Structure 1
Amino acid sequence: MIALGASFFLFLALAAGSIAIFHPAGSRRGPLAERIRALRPAGGVARRSGTPAPGLRPSPSSVPWLRRLLSDSARGESIALELRQADVGLRVGEFLLLRWLLAALLFLVPALLSRLHPVGLLVGLAGVLLGYLLPGFYLKSARRGRLAKVERQLVEFLPLLASSLRSGFALPQGIEAAARQLGPPLGDELALLLSDVNLGATTQAALEDLQRRVGSPGLDIVVTAILVQRTTGGNLAEVLDRAAETLLERERIRGELHTLTTQQRLTGLVLMVYPIVVGLVLLALMPGIWSRLFTEPAGQIQLAIAGSLQLLGFFAIRRALRVEY
């Protein structure tokens, strides 16, 4: 009972600390930031309020010592780019602190509940690894989902842009006309591109920044084609039509691969759930025998090893079925 109460108050302390770190009083926007945030993209293309204003580099953390540590860090810049590409509204410092707080919580709870028993400490060490890795898994999953949406929207965007160019629009005006008909996430990124141009950036610099900011292979093809055409000349509308055909073929292949790997992904899920279901059934039929897995140290160690191997096999199957293209 004492260990349970200590775990509860520890959870409250960690939650209060997270709120104090992630939402400090000094992190409110000042007048200058509010004025910059009030700038709207040309042509009435809306931008979400949570998107940073063009040309601004957000601080990696509101905590002074962590901000100094991450300011000139290549790893910090890489995490910031991943957070931006996943559209996760956290700073780099907040994301790192979240990982360590979750790791600490998943270590201390089983350790305190077991009253520092060796098995509880072993489970806590596994919790440290799990708590640190879970936010990274979520970030990668959110990034892949957002990039998939961008790839699908590109197939719709390119014919609209090519049609606008054939109608006599310049490239920025064509992007603006096409962006009005798109939703997030590509519509928001195009709005930021137009804002960059309106605030004085060259079209080439704005396109290169868009390419780096989004991280989409399909968008890389489009931006490269536009930049090459601006250097060598030619019919940009035809170039965009060919790029649209290429991206449409990529989407078709992606759909076929998803269909072909459905059975294997389902098999991996069944292999993950099957031992758990069988174990619960055996526990219900013969509780006197199978309950020793939960009450005796040797059984608890066996459960921890079995659970770790199940998770490892599940993620190995998922990774083997992921096709990079």
Structure 2
Amino acid sequence: MLFILAGILGFITIAGLGFAFAGGDSDAAKATKRAQLIAGGGERQAAVRAKAAANTPDARRQSILKALKDQERKQKKATLSIGSRMQAAGLAPNVKAFWIVSGVLGVFVALMIVVMGQSPLVALGAGFAAGAGLPRWVLGFLAKGRTTKFTESFADAVDIIVRGIKSGLPVHDCLKIIGKECPEPLAGEFRTLTENVAMGVPMDAALEKMYERMPTNELRFFAIVLAIQQKTGGNLAEALGNLSTVLRARKLMKEKIKALSAEAVASAFIIGCLPPGVVTLLTVMSPAYMKPMFTDPRGHMMILAGSCLMAMGIFVMRKMINFKF
């Protein structure tokens, strides 16, 4: 009995010494360790949940909406830039030369008005309109025509990519086919795209440069689809096929709206051209009758007021008949 008691006491003594030298976790330390374990597990679970949530349709939809908003801001900035308009028109982006030509044209028109015997105020207004307005209008007209040609053939280009992918061709080869077979300016833009990609430029960066040269909604959708497919994966042929369907539906809707608004457009055009046309005819048929309008200061004020009112009316009518797609 004494031997057993001595053994128990020896065990307790050795255990106490080991605990004293080795140390033990306090309740606070144990609680801290448990909290760290729980937090670590929570972080891992949160990461797993975030990754799973990123693959949901709502998350992809939010990603697409964010990309669309970013592209819309870039498009607005590009639309206001003279260099971007010149690129969209197929011209070299030489902004300095554009302003030089505008200034020379404005001075030439002003001098012609002065030589014709008009007042310096009228010459100044005509020179400003010719220098600041006419070149911009011509540039916008060229850019709009080239952009329209690009948009009309873009759905066919997307179909070429879809058929090429389904037949086993890489995307880069499909882009080369578009550069060879499609009409201009679509072929030229895609040739530039394939050349940039061949030189080592990433596809998203090459599409961004292409969008700067041709800021259209169709190209923006195409770039977003490729960017999301590269990040999340999936069936690219199916995604581009759906995009082609959407683009053709947009084109059909555009033509339908154009047909429905043709009467309003014609009315706005006639109303806008009628006052200047009447003034021109009266000046040609009866110069003596219209001479006070161009020589008397009161006639100058009437011309100025009429021009301002006409500009406001044309602006309002343009807003009424201009539809964005």
Q: Shorter-chain-normalised TM-score: which range?
A: 0.5 to 0.7
What amino acid does structure 2 have at the position aligned with 1:193? Answer: L
- Distance across 2 between alignment mates of 1:210 and 1:291: 54
5+ unaligned residues in a row in structure 1: which ranges?
1-73
State the 1:255 CA deviation: 0.9
Q: Given the superposition, is the C-alpha separation of residues 103 and 319 from structure 1 closer, same or farther in structure 2, using an over 3 Å criterion? A: farther
* 2:128 pairs with 1:129: yes
- Distance across 1 between alignment mates of 2:159 and 2:136: 36
Alignment identity in percent?
22
- Choose between structure 1 and 2: higher helix proportion: 2
State the 1:269 CA deviation: 1.8
Alignment of 1:1-325 (within 5 A): 78-89=81-92, 91-114=94-117, 120-131=119-130, 132-279=132-279, 289-325=289-325
- Distance across 1 between alignment mates of 2:238 and 2:293: 67
TM-score, with length taken from structure 1: 0.68
- Distance across 1 between alignment mates of 2:286 and 2:221: 61
5+ unaligned residues in a row in structure 2: which ranges?
1-76
Q: Which string of whole-angstrom CA distances, capped at 9 and with x for unpartnered residues, describes residues 260-285 of structure 1?
A: 22111111221133334545666688
What amino acid does structure 2 have at the position aligned with 1:134? Answer: L
How many residue pairs match? The answer is 247
- Distance across 1 between alignment mates of 2:314 and 2:119: 24
3-state SS of 1:180 partner: helix
What amino acid does structure 1 have at the position aligned with 2:250? Answer: R
- Distance across 2 between alignment mates of 1:174 and 1:287: 65
State the 1:289 CA deviation: 4.3
Q: Given the superposition, is the C-alpha separation of residues 277 and 231 from structure 1 closer, same or farther in structure 2, using an over 3 Å criterion? A: closer
Contact in 2 for aligned 1:292/1:299 (Cα 8 Å): yes
- Distance across 1 between alignment mates of 2:245 and 2:123: 52
- Distance across 2 between alignment mates of 1:79 and 1:283: 37
Larger C-alpha radius of gyration, 1 or 2?
A: 2
What amino acid does structure 2 have at the position aligned with 1:91? Answer: N
Quote the RMSD (CA, aligned, Å): 2.7
Contact in 1 for aligned 2:294/2:300 (Cα 8 Å): yes
What amino acid does structure 2 have at the position aligned with 1:262? Answer: A
TM-score, with length taken from structure 2: 0.68
3-state SS of 2:272 partner: helix
- Distance across 2 between alignment mates of 1:169 and 1:102: 52
State the 1:200 CA deviation: 2.5
Q: Which has the higher contact order (CA 8 A, sep 6+)?
A: 1
What amino acid does structure 1 have at the position aligned with 2:124? Answer: L
Contact in 2 for aligned 1:154/1:218 (Cα 8 Å): yes
Q: Given the superposition, is the C-alpha separation of residues 101 and 287 from structure 1 closer, same or farther in structure 2, using an over 3 Å criterion? A: closer
- Distance across 1 between alignment mates of 2:116 and 2:296: 15
Contact in 2 for aligned 1:84/1:213 (Cα 8 Å): yes
Q: Given the superposition, is the C-alpha separation of residues 230 and 108 from structure 1 closer, same or farther in structure 2, using an over 3 Å criterion? A: same
Q: Hey, what does 1:26 align to over in structure 2?
A: none
Q: Given the superposition, is the C-alpha separation of residues 154 and 282 from structure 1 closer, same or farther in structure 2, using an over 3 Å criterion? A: closer
